[in-house]
């Protein structure tokens, strides 16, 4: 059977900074696992606002079906891209890592709000510019959500998603059977050494 899924990028993955790629690559990995091409770019809502508007036009012109936008801190990128396009946007709130700082001490490693600032900035979009939002650093879930959106148009993606869920189900059943057989203490010792 010939694939009905176009061999061109259907999902755009954008992030506000190169440091966000440490989280956002999980969305790309999920899409790769399903054979879905994606267009990946760095687009900063604050440092490249004209590029953000250009990207929205580019995404529509090139037939992207979903945009996954990851951002940390004030996390304006998902909402701003949603304001410029009718393409569904899935926001990924990112816990900011201060790894660009010259101070490498542990106390400067994470943001003061643990990613809640990003989560609230994305999830609390005003009426009229909705952004679907996943959990903090949950880019893989954003990839899966994008696949569900694509599955409404492409039945073969829907079939692959059903098989994926069945594999998840079977993995849990197998682990449960192993735990029942070995006992909880031995199971933990074996699994988490």
Residues flagged as binding site for substrate = 17, 20, 47
Confirm if 108 and 96 have CB atoms less than 8 A apart: no
Binding site: which residues? 17, 20, 47
Q: What are phi and psi of 179, to 5 degrees?
A: -65, -45
Residue 188 vs residues 175, 183, 193: alpha-carbon distances, Å: 11, 9, 8
CA distance 166 to 159: 11
Confirm if 102 and 115 have CB atoms less than 8 A apart: no
Strand 89-94 and strand 38-42: pairing?
Answer: unpaired
DSSP state of 7: S
Confirm if 148 and 106 have CB atoms less than 8 A apart: no
């Amino acid at each position: 059977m010939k694939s009905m899924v176009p061999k061109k990028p259907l999902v755009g993955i954008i992030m506000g900074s190169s440091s966000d790629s440490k989280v956002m690559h999980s969305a790309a990995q999920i899409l790769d696992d399903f054979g879905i091409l994606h267009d990946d770019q760095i687009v900063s809502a604050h440092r490249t606002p004209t590029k953000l508007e250009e990207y929205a036009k580019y995404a529509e012109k090139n037939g992207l079906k979903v945009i996954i936008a990851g951002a940390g801190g004030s996390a304006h990128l998902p909402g701003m891209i949603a304001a410029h396009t009718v393409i569904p946007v899935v926001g990924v709130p990112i816990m900011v890592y201060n790894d660009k700082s010259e101070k490498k001490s542990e106390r400067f490693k994470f943001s003061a709000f643990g990613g809640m600032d990003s989560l609230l900035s994305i999830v609390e979009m005003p009426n009229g510019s909705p952004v679907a939002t996943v959990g903090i650093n949950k880019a893989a879930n954003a990839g899966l959500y994008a696949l569900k959106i694509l599955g409404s148009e492409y039945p073969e993606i829907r079939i692959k998603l059903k098989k994926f869920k069945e594999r998840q189900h079977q993995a849990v059943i197998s682990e449960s059977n192993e735990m029942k057989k070995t006992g909880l203490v031995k199971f933990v010792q074996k699994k988490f050494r």
